[in-house]
Amino acid sequence: MAQDVNSNRQFIIGGFFVLVTIIYVIRLFALQITETKYQISAENNARRHVTEYPARGLIFDRNGELLVYNQAQYDLMIVPKQTKEFDTLELCEILGTNIETLKNNINKARKYSLYKPSIVFKQISALRYAELQEKLYKFQGFFIQTHSTRIYKQDIASHFLGYVGEVNRKKLDEDAYYKAGDYVGISGIEKAYEKILRGKKGLSIFLVDVHNRVKGSYKEGKYDTSEVVGSDIYTTIDVELQKYGEKLMQNKRGSIVAIEPATGEVLALISSPYYAPNLLTGNKRSQNYLALASSEDKPLFNRALMAFYPPGSTLKPIQALIGMQEGVITSESVFPCNGGFSIGTHVVGCHHVGNIGLIHSIAGSCNSYYCGVFTKILHNDIYPTSEDAYQNWRSYLHSFGLGVKLKSDLGHELSGILYPSNYFNKYYGRGRWGPFTIISLSIGQGELGFTPIQIANMVSVIANRGYYIIPHSVRRIGGQAEINEKFKEKHYVNIEQKYFEPVITGMQTVLEFGTAGGLALPNITICGKTGTAQNPHGTDHSIFVAFAPKNEPKIAISVYVENGGYGSTWAAPIATLMIEKYLSDSISKPWLEQKMIQGNLMNN
| Residues lying near another protein in the complex (CB under 8 A) | 1, 3, 5-7, 9-10, 12-14, 17-18, 20-21, 23-25, 27-29, 31-33, 35, 37-39, 41-43, 45-46, 81-82, 84-85, 210
- Cβ closer to another protein: 207 or 262? 207
- Cβ closer to another protein: 13 or 127? 13
Dihedral pair phi/psi, residue 409, rounded to 5°: -105, 20
- Cβ closer to another protein: 46 or 55? 46
In whole angstroms, what separates CA 35 from the centre of its chain?
Answer: 58
- Cβ closer to another protein: 78 or 233? 78
- Cβ closer to another protein: 12 or 353? 12
Tell me the C-alpha distance between 373 and 82, whole Å.
78
Q: At its nearest, how many Å lie between another protein and the CB of residue 33?
A: 6
Q: At its nearest, how many Å lie between another protein and the CB of residue 23?
A: 8
Q: At its nearest, how many Å lie between another protein and the CB of residue 88?
A: 13
Phi-psi region of 178 (alpha: psi -120 to 50; beta: other; left: phi over 0): beta
User: Which of 316, 259, 357, 317 has its CA nearest to residue 500?
Assistant: 317
452 to each of 251, 270, 544, 557, how far by Cα in Å? Answer: 18, 10, 10, 9
Element (H, E) at 126: helix 126-135
24 to each of 42, 323, 341, 456, how far by Cα in Å? Answer: 21, 94, 102, 81
Q: At its nearest, how many Å lie between another protein and the CB of residue 28?
A: 5
Element (H, E) at 93: helix 88-95
The identity of residue 353, as a single letter, is V
User: Which of 532, 469, 531, 462 has its CA nearest to residue 502?
Assistant: 462
DSSP structure class, residue 446: S
Tell me the C-alpha distance between 524 and 576, whole Å.
10
Tell me the C-alpha distance between 377 and 151, whole Å.
54
The identity of residue 52, as a single letter, is E
Q: At its nearest, how many Å lie between another protein and the CB of residue 216?
A: 16
Q: At its nearest, how many Å lie between another protein and the CB of residue 54?
A: 27
Q: In a 3-state reduction of DSSP, which class is residue 50? A: strand
- Cβ closer to another protein: 141 or 311? 141
- Cβ closer to another protein: 17 or 492? 17
Q: At its nearest, how many Å lie between another protein and the CB of residue 100?
A: 23
Q: At its nearest, how many Å lie between another protein and the CB of residue 21?
A: 5
- Cβ closer to another protein: 9 or 351? 9
Q: Are 343 and 439 in contact (CB under 8 A)?
A: yes
